[in-house]
Amino acid sequence: MKLHAALGITSGDMATFVGAGGKSGAILAVSSGLTQEGMKVLVAPTTKMLSSEADVLGPLVTSEDPADLRAKAEKALSRATAVVVGSRLLSKNRVGGVDPDWVGDLAGLADVVLVEADGSRRRPIKGTAGHEPAIPDAATLVVAVGNVHALGTPVDEEHVHRPTIFSDLTGIGQGQSITPRAFAIALSQGSLARVPQRARTAALITGVEPGRTMSDAAVITRELWRLGVNDVVLASLPTESPARVWIP
């Protein structure tokens, strides 16, 4: 099964990825699956994105003017199946995200819009600050991402982005091990705390392979279900390409 199908992403969707532990890889996998089916995809990060990630997805266009950005994106999509938009180049390595309010106006240019709306400094899980994530109001699906390898690791700077916020939310103190319940709370009550009213929600657990990590992911999934996140997808991202995908 392709990841976009498992997440239920279809033409007309604006799918926003939040959390940690594989957002960029998930967007790449979803974009690839959609373009293989003949769809046009616009990738619109509302936070910083690595230039190297944008290069893999498709041509990049930038502007700090919304009308100009729309015109550039429309032109680029006439030549490419997937295009990335940004506000400006922050450096040779990073692209600035676009204002979430602009994304709705860009949506009509492509069959599907994919938004990366959160930063995590490549940690497998995070505590979500009050100003995060930057989700467009037009989002139709919000996917909370976390990597199963965070389970059992200590709450510290090495393993958790914003560990103090993670501890405050989950009740797991600094240096203590992350439990399945804490993992699920970080996604359901952190990443998915401020979702547009009409948007669907899902959780994506990455880093999963048959064996121990599959068992760990199953335990986390049950906790997510208890917390009201009914749609959960497991994937072998980011270690495998193409990723293996399971629906528990």
- Asked whether 183 and 228 are in contact (CB, 8 A), the reply is no
List the domains of the chain with CATH numbers. 3-246 (3.40.50)
Would strands 245-246 and 232-235 be described as parallel, antiparallel, or unpaired? antiparallel
Tell me the C-alpha to C-alpha distance, in Å, between residue 159 and each of 153, 166, 219: 7, 11, 20
Query: Phi/psi at 105 (nearest 5 deg)?
Result: -70, -25
For the chain, 248 residues long, give each residue's pLDDT as a single digit of tens: 999 999 999 999 999 999 999 999 999 999 999 999 999 999 999 999 999 889 999 999 999 999 999 999 999 999 999 999 999 999 889 999 999 999 999 999 999 999 999 989 999 999 999 999 999 999 999 999 999 999 999 999 999 999 999 999 999 999 999 999 999 999 999 999 999 999 999 999 999 999 999 999 999 999 999 999 999 999 999 877 789 999 99
pTM: 0.96
